[in-house]
Amino acid sequence: MDRIRITGGNELHGIIPISGAKNAALPLMIASLLTDDTLTLENVPHLADVEQLLRILGNHGVDVSVNGRRERQGESYSRTIHFTCRTITDTTAPYELVSKMRASFWVIGPLLAREGRARVSLPGGCAIGTRPVDLFIEALTALGANIEIDSGYINATAPKGGLVGARYVFPKVSVGATHVMMMAATLANGQTVIGNAAREPEVVDLANCLIAMGAKISGHGTSTITIEGVSSLSGARHRVLPDRIETGTYAMAVAMTGGDVVLEGTDGALLETALEAVRRAGATITQTETGLRVVRNGGAIKPVDVVTDPFPGFPTDLQAQFMGLMTMSNGVSHITETIFENRFMHVQELARLGAKISLSGQTAKIEGVSKLKGAPVMATDLRASVSLVIAGLVAEGETMVSRVYHLDRGFERLEEKLNACGANVERVSD
What pLDDT, in 10s, does the model give residues 107-164?
Answer: 999 999 999 999 999 875 434 344 468 899 999 999 999 999 888 899 999 999 999 9
* 175 assigned ligand-binding residue: yes
> Which part of the chain is CATH 3.65.10.10?
2-18+242-429, 22-239
Count of C-beta atoms within a 10 Å radius of residue 103: 23
> Looking at per-residue confidence, does 372 or 152 come out higher?
372
**How far is residue 228's CA from residue 345's CA, in Å, rounded to a whole number?**
43
pLDDT at 196: 98
pLDDT at 130: 43
Q: Which helix (H) or strand (E) holds 260?
A: strand 259-264
* 23 assigned ligand-binding residue: yes
pLDDT at 126: 39
CB proximity list for 327: less than 8 A, separation 6 or greater:
350, 353, 354, 355, 356, 357, 366, 368, 369, 372, 391
pLDDT at 77: 66
> Looking at per-residue confidence, does 298 or 222 come out higher?
222
pLDDT at 124: 53
Backbone angles phi, psi at 152, to 5 degrees: 80, 10
Return the amino acid letter for 143.
L
Cis status of the peptide bond prior to 312, with omega within 30 of 0: yes
Backbone angles phi, psi at 182, to 5 degrees: -65, -45
- Look over the chain and give the mean of its residue pLDDT values, rounded to a whole number: 93
* 365 assigned ligand-binding residue: no
Which CATH homologous superfamily contains domain 22-239? Answer: Enolpyruvate transferase domain (3.65.10.10)
Return the amino acid letter for 39.
L
Does residue 69 carry a pLDDT above 60?
no
pLDDT at 299: 86
DSSP letters for 84-115:
E-SS----EE-HHHHTT-GGGGGGHHHHHHHH
Residue 314 is given by DSSP the state B
Does residue 76 carry a pLDDT above 60?
no
* 134 assigned ligand-binding residue: yes
126 is catalytic: yes
**How far is residue 396's CA from residue 32's CA, in Å, rounded to a whole number?**
48
pLDDT at 114: 97
Does residue 38 carry a pLDDT above 50?
yes
Instruction: Indicate the SS3 state at residue 44.
Output: strand
Does residue 365 carry a pLDDT above 90?
yes
CA triple 35-37-39, angle to 5 deg: 85
* 133 assigned ligand-binding residue: yes
> Looking at per-residue confidence, does 96 or 267 come out higher?
267
Does residue 98 carry a pLDDT above 50?
yes
Does residue 232 carry a pLDDT above 90?
yes
| For helices 244-257 and 382-392, angle between their N-to-C axes, nearest 10 degrees | 20
pLDDT-based confidence at residue 101 (cuts at 50, 70, 90): confident
| For helices 134-142 and 108-115, angle between their N-to-C axes, nearest 10 degrees | 20
* 173 assigned ligand-binding residue: yes
**How far is residue 257's CA from residue 255's CA, in Å, rounded to a whole number?**
6
pLDDT in tens, 310-337: 999 999 999 999 999 999 999 999 999 9
CB proximity list for 180: less than 8 A, separation 6 or greater:
106, 108, 109, 136, 139, 140
Please give the average per-residue pLDDT across 10-14, as a whole number.
98
* 230 assigned ligand-binding residue: no
- Helices then strands, counting H and E runs in the chain, come out as 14, 26
Fold of 2-18+242-429: UDP-n-acetylglucosamine1-carboxyvinyl-transferase; Chain (3.65.10)
pLDDT at 72: 44
pLDDT in tens, 247-265: 999 999 999 999 999 999 9
* 339 assigned ligand-binding residue: yes
The catalytic position among 85, 126, 209, 421 is 126
